Amino acid sequence: MRWALVKVCLAVTAMVVIAFAVPLGLVIREMASDRAFSDAERQAAMIAPALSITTDREELTRAVLSTEPGDRGRLAVHVPAPEKAADGTDGEALDIGTRRASPKDVATVRKAGRASITEVTDGFALLQPTALSTGDIAVVEVFVPEGEVSNGVATAWLILAGVGVALIVGSVAVADRLGVRMVQPAQRLAGAAHDLGEGRLGTRVPEEGPTELRSAAVAFNSMADQVVQLLANERELAADLSHRLRTPLTVLRLNAASLGEGPAADQTRAAVEQLEHEVDTIIRTAREQRPQTQGIQTGAGAGCDVSEVIRERMGFWSALAEDEGREVRLAGVDRTVRIPVARPELAAALDALLGNVFRHTPESTAFAVDVHHSGDAVIVLVSDAGPGITDPEAALARGTTNPGTVGSTGLGLDIVRRVAESTGGDLRIGRSVLGGTEVRIWIGLHGTSPDRGRRGHGRRVARRFGRPRRKEPRTTAGPATSGPS
């Protein structure tokens, strides 16, 4: 669309320039020619008084040489021979000055009695008839060089060409700016529609550009807000429906408490407790999760400072870590780094990971949180010195409850993974240099895919704890090691 507008403007401007410049150039050439021949007529009239007084060769020669064109060899006088001289002999014709016109042209002008312009070598000759005192007709010839006929025409044409080129360039520049003003909002609208289709519900379009595109942007932003609101309503509905189960669960728990002792009673109470935990998890997930709003963020409060959120959540968990005698290390949070993730989503993801550390590792187990900024991404590492995970792939299975794990629903890591994948990143589980689990969250800042060649983060964590990297991974079988929630 942009280049089409530029081409149309270029064609129209070129036609306008040609329509005006070509006739104007021809008029300038005609004006230069008329000016040159008008000067020649004026110069021819300068010798007329002398011709009306005398036809003597010497006097006429002096009169011709006294004029500027005569002195430059551009003026000639052709006097016809009289029928009889004073002594009765035939008269002699006089040709004073440099002749350039042919005798035939001179005779034609003398006979016609009106001025004429004839083409001669290197220019033109103006032939002006003049009456003599004897009644004969003399012809005054003024030579006009070809350069004087076109004097100033080339310069005028160059100026016209320059003005025409300037007009064309200016019109193209203006058309290009107009095209950009029209095309860029359309491209932003198309890109925002693509991002919204991929699930980036925080995408909004600046309401600028032509009136039609501003209206389209307003409609798009209104639609996106409606989509976000509908998803939020669905989540609230899921939380409310789950909350309604609490009343019958409370009754069931009270009834199970009155069953007394025995294997069946213990199994019933355990099942009720597990069911209550599942309902709480559904409610918490529905309330804490919000529609993913990463992408092109334009509203106030879009995204968050990852360092600030991590410091805040570590301050919350540090009290429990101190009670359990855990050594905690925090690194990489001394600078502000904004990420395209809403603050509640990042806080929920960190709480899920840190909760796993406390839930699935023994007391006094050290853990660390590291933040690395690589320019196009932010990497958050949560490492511990616990027993580790025997099957990382099973732990990462979406929504899978790992068998044998007490209190695990499989939703915690799923929350973390959705946060990472919403930015184009990912979630990985590996062996920490501390001996336990290392969970790596790769958060893209521009929607780019993770760099799978990154290494060395774990070594820096090991140096801070003063422990060597283990050559053989340590795994421990048992209910507490099969995977986090």
The residue type at 28: I
pTM: 0.39
Classify 453 as helix, strand or coil: coil
DSSP letters, 20-73, are: HHHHHHHHHHHHHHHHHHHHHHHHHHTTHHHHHH---HHHHHHHHHTSHHHHTT
CA pair distance 465, 149, nearest whole angstrom: 97
Q: What 8-state DSSP symbol labels residue 337?
A: -
Where on the phi/psi map is residue 295: left (φ > 0), alpha (ψ -120 to 50), or beta?
left
Query: Cα 69 vs. chain centroid, distance in angstroms?
Result: 67
Q: Are 93 and 138 in contact (CB under 8 A)?
A: no
Lowest mean pLDDT among 59-68, 326-335, 444-453, 476-485: 476-485
For residue 330, give the H/E element and its range: strand 328-331
Q: Best-predicted range by mean pLDDT among 380-384, 396-400, 461-465?
A: 380-384
- Look at residue 371 in the predicted model and tell me its pLDDT: 92
| Dist CA 353 CA 121 (whole Å) | 102
pLDDT band at 478 (very low <50, low <70, confident <90, very high): very low
Mean pLDDT computed over 253-260: 74
Pairing of strands 137-145, 328-331: unpaired
Tens of pLDDT, residue by residue over 434-462, are 888 999 999 988 755 554 444 444 444 44
Task: Identify the CA nearest to 205 among candidates 290, 294, 297, 293.
Answer: 297
pLDDT at 370: 92
SS3 380: strand
- 123-131 and 116-120: which strand pairing? antiparallel
Instruction: Look at residue 351 and tell me whether its pLDDT is greater than 90.
Output: no
pLDDT digits (tens, 9 = 90+) for 185-216: 888 888 888 888 887 888 888 888 778 888 88
Q: How many CB atoms lie within 10 A of CB 331?
A: 14
Which of 329, 331, 333, 330 has its CA nearest to residue 306? 333
Categorize the per-residue pLDDT at 308 as very low, low, confident or very high, splitting at 50, 70 and 90: very high
Amino acid sitting at position 266 = D
Mean pLDDT, the chain, rounded, equals 76
Amino acid at 286: A
Distance from C-alpha of 103 to C-alpha of 105, rounded to nearest angstrom: 5
- pLDDT exceeds cutoff 60 at 423: yes
Lowest mean pLDDT among 67-71, 144-148, 149-153, 284-288: 284-288
Selected residue with higher pLDDT from 447 and 429:
429
Element (H, E) at 154: helix 153-197
Q: If residue 235 lies in a helix (H) or strand (E), which one and from where to where?
A: helix 211-244
User: Which pLDDT score, from 0 to 100, does residue 400 have?
Assistant: 46
CA gap 109, 128 in Å, rounded: 8
**408 has a pLDDT exceeding 80:** no
Partner residues linked to 378 by β-bridges: 373, 443
- Taking alpha carbons only, the member of 142, 78, 149, 156 closest to residue 110 is 78
Beta bridge partners of 179: none
Q: How far apart are CA 39 and CA 27, in angstroms?
A: 18
Provide the edge-to-edge strand list for the sheet that holds 437-444: 328-331, 367-373, 377-384, 437-444, 426-431
* Better pLDDT: 88 or 356: 356
